[in-house]
Structures are given as structure tokens and as C-alpha cells.
């Protein structure tokens, strides 16, 4: 190789930052989740921890409503940034700059997140920073169009226009002074984001089928984010035990509440973790959007653990606390049933969606009955444990490990 040829093939700092994004269809099948993506996810969890802490101190219907709305906005930011990098990012300077730029905006967003729903000033600040974040991500998606086929470029344009509608609603929310109107606008933005994608499954669109793929790396990414979210349950239990009087019943309640979190882990990772759904846009969309209520439920349950442990000595669990924890568990079970139903057929998991729905009904029954906190946590743990045990027995009869794909 001549010195001139070696020089021309040598990567330069400029080329490292100016490589174009991957076009639609340029999938890296053997890609694994990078350390930078995990770093990115951790910043999102800081945001979620902020709003979960606020919910833990305001266990009311209004508190949960505010939590769910802000959580939904955070999720929209995460899903757009995550799928952009999965489908179009590279291990280069451009992609790193994009991710670090988003992380900087997320840190600014965290300043306002805790009280974005109940404080007008923080709500306006949250809306302004969130607008900048979504615009930044939308411009990244728009930059893909010159590298796509005309059909894919048209699909990307529709996607960006949908994002523009959401951005417009958030911009209006930053202008209005009434906090109730602001929350309503945020709720409409979340509903449109979810409904717009779900509506696409009823259209025969080959471009959508090709563009919206759930690879092994994205299923790994969702699993890793689930692990991080489960940390909110551990934090909730630890906060509850640190703030409550440390009696034997309080400690027992905290440990059994932790087992509920273990139940979330066992059922998700033995039935879903690292498994892409079956082919088809409908399965992909259900798999994707099923994680939203599941993660919302995990974070809400973790916030409720603080109140549950604080009331460990009570004869009955406070109504709001019972519905927050047991209702969240039911939500997780229903969402997980939908996700499992998209998995490839497997004899060991055949009854899992049904048993998860049964666990959801038991959870709702416990919420209505409001036994004491220890019994409530124990009941939820048993309901989740029976789902796993039934599948374990079925796997044992088939002679396969329960974690078998």
C-alpha cells in the first residue's frame, strides 16, 4: 500500500464526526447495547426518580394522574431517542454528540420534573426544555431522509410531522398560564403519540413493516431499562424502611414488599427478557407500547412502597396506598400478558397470559379488600409467584429450563 493510499483510507477526526446516519434497512443484526446507551438510560431514570419521589409524598388520585402524565412525556422522549440510535446511529462522533446533547437537555429537564405538574413555574420550564429536546430529536430523524429511498423518506417525513404536532402542543402548554390546561395539553400529546403509532398497524404499509423492526439489541435494551426501572422498587422499600419506625412488622413488610419487586423481575425476564416478538407490525407495536404501562406500574409501585411500609402497623392499608400498589401490580400483569402474547409460541408459556390476567384480578381484589400492609404485600407476591410456578411446572414436564427461549 502506497503512503498516499494509506493516508486516504485512514480515518480522520472530521470523517468520524461527519459520517451519515444509517438509512432505513441498514440493520446491524449482531449489535449489542453500548455503554453509552446505558449511560443515556440512567439519565432518564434520574428524571423518573424525581417524579416518583413526588408521588411517594402525594399518594392521591391527583398525584398519580400528574405522575402518569409527566412519565408519559419522559417515555416519548426516551422511545424516540432510543429507536433513532437503534435504527440509524453509529459508533462514531456524530452519534455520540447527539446522545450527549440529549443527556445535557435531560439534566436541565430534571430541574423541573419533580413539580412540573403542580407548580406553574416548573411546568413552564419543563415545557420549554422538553420542546427543545423533542425538536433536537426530530431534526435527527429528519436528517435521515436524504439517505433513504423515496418511499422511506416519505415515511420518515410523516413521522417527523407527527412529532411536530406533539411539539406544537407542548409549545402551547408553555404559553398558557393555567396549570390544568397545561396538563390537558400534555395528556393530548401523549394520547396522539400512542394512537398515531397504533393506528398504523391497521394500514397495509410495507415501508412501516421494514422501518419498525424489533431487533435482538432493542429487546436487550428494553430488558436493561426494565432492570433499571425495578431499581425504583428497591429505592421505595429502602426509603420506606429508613423513614418508618423500625419494628419487626415494619421490616417484615418491607422485605415482603421487596419480594413483590422480585416477582416483577421473574415474570418479565423468564417470559419476555431478550426475546423479540413474532414478525408483524401488530406484534411489534403491542410489544413496544405494552412496556409503557408496565414501566409506569413498576415506578408507581416503587413510589407506593414508602407509604405501605410507613403504615405497616395499621390494621388496614390506606385506600390510596392499596390502590396505588395493587393497581400498579394489576397494570403490570395486564401489560405483561399482552407482551407475552406477542412472543413466539412455546409450550411452557402457553398459559402465562391467562395466569397473568388472573393475577391482575387478584391484585384488584386485594386493592378493594385493603388488608393490612403485610398481608397486602404477601398476597401480591403469592399472585405473581403462582404465575411463575405454573410455567415452571409446565417447563419441567416438557423437560426444558424455564428460561429457555
In the chain, what are the domain boundaries? 32-211, 216-398
Q: Which class would CATH give 216-398?
A: mainly alpha
Average pLDDT on 19-24 reads 84
pTM of the full structure: 0.93
Alpha carbon distance 226, 341 (integer Å): 18
Q: Residue 39 half-sphere exposure, CB side, CA atoms within 13 Å?
A: 10
Q: How is residue 177 annotated by DSSP? A: -
pLDDT in tens, 205-228: 666 666 667 888 999 999 999 999
Answer yes or no: are the C-beta atoms of 285 and 197 closer than 8 Å. Answer: yes
Average pLDDT over residues 373-383: 98
Q: Which long-range contacts (CB under 8 A, 24 or more apart) does 70-73 make?
A: 70/113, 70/116, 70/117, 70/126, 70/186, 71/295, 71/296, 71/299, 72/186, 72/187, 72/190, 72/292, 72/296, 73/130, 73/170, 73/186, 73/189, 73/190
Cα angle, residue 155 at apex, residues 154 and 159 outer, rounded to 5° = 115
Residue 74's pLDDT band, with cuts at 50, 70 and 90, is: very high
Give the rounded percent of residues in the chain with a pLDDT score beyond 70.
Answer: 93
Confidence of residue 404 (pLDDT cuts 50, 70, 90): low
**Lowest mean pLDDT, pick from 50-64, 208-222, 319-333:** 208-222
State mean pLDDT over 191-210. Answer: 71
Amino acid at each position: 500500500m502506497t503512503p498516499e493510499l494509506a493516508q486516504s483510507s485512514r480515518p480522520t477526526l472530521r470523517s468520524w464526526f461527519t459520517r451519515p446516519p444509517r438509512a432505513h434497512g441498514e440493520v446491524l443484526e449482531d449489535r449489542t447495547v453500548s455503554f453509552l446507551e446505558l449511560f443515556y438510560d440512567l439519565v432518564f431514570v434520574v428524571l423518573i426518580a424525581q417524579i416518583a419521589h413526588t408521588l411517594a409524598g402525594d399518594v392521591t388520585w391527583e398525584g398519580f394522574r400528574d405522575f402518569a402524565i409527566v412519565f408519559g412525556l419522559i417515555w416519548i422522549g426516551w422511545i424516540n431517542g432510543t429507536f433513532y440510535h437503534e435504527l440509524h446511529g453509529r459508533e462514531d462522533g456524530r452519534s455520540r454528540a447527539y446522545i450527549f446533547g440529549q443527556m445535557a437537555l435531560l439534566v436541565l429537564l430534571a430541574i423541573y420534573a419533580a413539580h412540573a405538574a403542580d407548580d406553574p413555574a416548573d411546568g413552564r420550564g419543563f415545557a420549554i426544555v422538553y420542546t427543545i429536546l423533542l425538536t433536537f430529536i426530530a431534526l435527527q430523524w429528519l436528517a435521515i431522509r436524504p439517505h433513504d429511498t423515496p418511499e422511506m423518506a416519505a415515511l420518515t417525513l410523516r413521522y417527523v410531522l407527527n412529532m411536530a404536532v406533539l411539539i406544537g402542543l407542548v409549545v402551547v402548554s408553555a404559553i398558557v398560564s393555567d396549570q390544568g390546561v397545561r396538563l390537558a395539553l400534555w395528556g393530548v400529546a401523549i394520547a396522539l403519540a400512542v394512537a398515531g403509532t397504533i393506528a398504523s398497524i391497521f394500514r397495509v404499509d410495507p415501508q412501516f413493516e421494514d422501518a419498525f423492526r424489533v431487533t435482538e439489541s432493542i429487546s436487550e435494551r428494553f430488558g436493561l431499562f426494565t432492570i433499571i426501572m425495578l431499581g425504583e422498587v428497591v429505592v421505595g422499600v429502602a426509603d420506606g424502611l429508613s423513614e418508618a419506625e423500625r419494628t419487626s412488622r415494619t421490616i417484615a413488610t418491607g422485605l415482603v414488599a421487596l419480594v413483590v419487586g422480585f416477582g416483577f423481575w421473574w415474570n418479565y425476564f423468564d417470559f419476555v427478557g431478550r426475546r423479540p416478538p413474532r414478525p408483524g407490525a401488530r406484534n411489534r407495536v403491542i410489544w413496544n407500547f405494552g412496556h409503557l404501562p408496565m414501566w409506569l406500574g413498576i415506578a408507581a409501585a416503587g413510589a407506593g412502597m414508602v407509604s405501605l411500609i410507613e403504615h405497616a402497623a395499621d390494621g388496614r392499608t390506606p385506600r390510596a396506598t392499596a390502590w396505588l400498589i395493587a393497581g400498579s401490580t394489576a397494570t403490570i400483569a395486564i401489560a405483561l400478558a399482552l407482551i407475552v402474547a406477542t412472543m413466539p409460541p412455546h409450550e411452557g408459556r402457553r398459559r402465562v397470559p391467562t395466569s397473568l390476567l388472573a393475577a391482575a384480578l387478584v391484585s384488584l381484589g386485594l386493592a378493594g379488600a385493603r388488608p393490612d400492609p403485610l398481608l397486602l404485600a404477601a398476597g401480591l407476591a403469592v399472585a405473581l409467584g403462582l404465575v411463575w410456578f405454573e410455567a415452571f411446572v409446565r417447563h419441567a414436564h416438557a423437560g426444558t429450563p424455564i428460561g429457555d427461549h
